[in-house]
């Protein structure tokens, strides 16, 4: 792994060799994958870990006393401790494996929210949010006769300072906010928001689906109450994570009932298992969690400071190159230091779906649509945008190809 990092940062050429999918051709052209915000590609070590589980020690965990089951259990729990260390949680018991970040948010909305939100209470979120961090709170607010409020954004997709102060009030019981927008790439002032929430007695849930894969995240330093993210966006398989402060998780009822989340079951009542198992009903995604641990190893070896620096270098390059295209509208901060490796844009006169199809013919993968962020697009008067997103395996030459083909698409539709 040492050759993947140099004194100048990431050795991207060496990193790319670890990703089998990047070696292929698409539509007769070399694959240019610029959709890592939706899901990242996987290095060979992660693929091998998943394959090894199914080939060599496929067994259920926590129940069997035979060798395969004990090996699976040990590696599953080792992965949990890797995640704990990666985000600097106090205890492995604060790490809950879920299906994805969306399920993690819904777990909190159901298990914490339905116990603690009352009529007249307020939940605060922002216009930058993914639907997964809006809809569960809408449902909860409607059910409890509470109010959902939004912190607005400026023209560059930055949260409005005065609304951070004014929207979070004594009535606020929960603030649910992204650490990095999946559309604008905006890195939010998350510590300030958490501190403001705590100052009025509210809790704070952080949607870190875009930040945990791309920058250092320390939950103890942030002092957030809950934090969620997804393995598939950080070089791992499709498995989610919920971090919660232990005292909060202890007080919450189970989200799902079934096997492994119980200590005793009788005809009249049941007793719940200890953390984290109280929230992991049934057979979990065992191989996926183990492979997530390998992805954590990979990113840790790269150094998250290096990952963020690489992303922002690419963003600066993309902002410069895309900004040179006449009429193209870039959504989000114009300074790369204020954003991660995400650039969403609008090509006047060309629908984003048409842009994506033209790019696909050249082997270039981008995302077109509202990116599960319709309120933000409505705010900017856009039905949809085209989004290019970068990761540890992205090189500037791929951005050059993107820009060349965007120029071609613009000339095709606006001769």
Q: Which residues contact 31 (CB under 8 A, 6 or more apart)?
A: 21, 22, 24, 25, 363, 365
Instruction: Give 91-103 as a DSSP string.
Output: -GGGEEEESSHHH
Give the Cα separation of 5 and 28 in Å (integer). 31
372 belongs to the catalytic site:
yes
At 284, give phi and psi (nearest 5°): -80, 180
Choosing from 204, 224, 365, 372, which is the catalytic residue?
Answer: 372
3 CB burial (10 A radius; 0-12, 13-18, 19+): exposed
User: Do 137 and 176 meet the contact criterion of CB atoms below 8 Å apart?
Assistant: yes
Determine the Cα angle at 246 with ends 241 and 248, to 5°.
95
Separation between Cα atoms, residue 27 and residue 20, nearest integer Å: 17
Termini Cα distance of the chain = 49
Helices and strands, counts by H and E, the chain: 15, 19
Query: How many other C-beta atoms can be found within 10 angstroms of the C-beta atom of residue 218?
Result: 12
Strands 147-151 and 122-126: parallel
Distances (CA, A) of 256 to 103, 225, 239, 279: 11, 21, 17, 7
Residue 279 DSSP label: G
- For 324, residues 6+ apart whose C-beta sits below 8 A from its C-beta are 403
Would you put residue 93 in left (φ > 0), alpha (ψ -120 to 50) or beta? alpha
The answer to whether residues 292 and 81 touch, using CB atoms and an 8 Å cutoff, is no
d(CA 351, CA 332): 19
**Cα separation of 244 and 261, whole Å?**
17
- 119's enclosing H/E stretch is none
Distances (CA, A) of 39 to 362, 385, 403: 20, 18, 22
Which residues carry out catalysis? 372
């Amino acid at each position: 792994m040492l050759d993947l990092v140099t004194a100048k940062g990431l050795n991207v050429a060496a990193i790319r060799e670890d990703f089998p999918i990047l070696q292929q051709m698409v539509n007769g052209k070399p694959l240019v994958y610029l959709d890592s915000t939706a899901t990242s590609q996987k290095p060979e070590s992660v693929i091998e870990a998943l394959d090894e589980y199914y080939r060599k020690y496929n067994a259920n965990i926590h129940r069997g006393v035979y060798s395969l089951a004990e090996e699976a259990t040990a590696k599953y729990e080792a992965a949990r401790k890797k995640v704990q260390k990666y985000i600097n949680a106090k205890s492995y018991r604060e790490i809950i494996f879920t299906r994805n970040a969306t399920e993690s948010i819904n777990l909190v909305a159901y298990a914490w929210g339905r116990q603690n939100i009352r009529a007249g209470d307020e939940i605060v979120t922002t216009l930058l949010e993914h639907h997964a961090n809006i809809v569960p709170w809408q449902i909860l607010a409607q059910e409890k006769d509470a109010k959902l409020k939004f912190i607005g954004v400026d023209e560059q997709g930055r949260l409005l300072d005065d609304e951070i102060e004014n929207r979070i009030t004594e009535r606020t019981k929960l603030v649910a906010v992204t650490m990095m927008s999946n559309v604008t790439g905006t890195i939010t002032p998350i510590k300030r928001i958490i501190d403001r929430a705590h100052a009025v007695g509210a809790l704070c849930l952080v949607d870190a689906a875009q930040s945990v894969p791309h920058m250092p995240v320390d939950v103890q330093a942030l002092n957030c109450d809950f934090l969620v993210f997804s393995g598939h966006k950080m070089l791992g398989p499709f498995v989610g994570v919920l971090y919660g402060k232990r005292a909060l998780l202890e007080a919450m009822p189970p989200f799902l009932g079934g096997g492994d989340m119980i200590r005793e079951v009788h005809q009249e009542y049941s007793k719940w298992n200890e953390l984290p198992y109280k929230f992991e009903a049934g057979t979990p995604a065992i191989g996926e969690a183990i492979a997530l641990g390998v992805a954590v190893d990979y990113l840790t070896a790269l150094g998250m400071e290096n990952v963020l620096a690489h992303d922002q270098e690419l963003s600066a390059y993309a902002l410069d190159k895309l900004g040179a295209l006449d009429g193209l509208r870039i959504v989000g901060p114009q300074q790369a230091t204020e954003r991660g490796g995400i650039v969403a844009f609008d090509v006047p006169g060309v629908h984003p779906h048409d842009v994506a199809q033209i790019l696909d013919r050249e082997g270039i993968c981008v995302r077109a649509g509202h990116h599960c962020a319709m309120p933000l697009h409505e705010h900017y008067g856009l039905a949809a945008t085209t989004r290019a997103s970068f990761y540890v395996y992205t090189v500037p030459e791929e951005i050059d190809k993107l820009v060349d083909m965007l120029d071609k698409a613009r000339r095709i539709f606006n001769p």
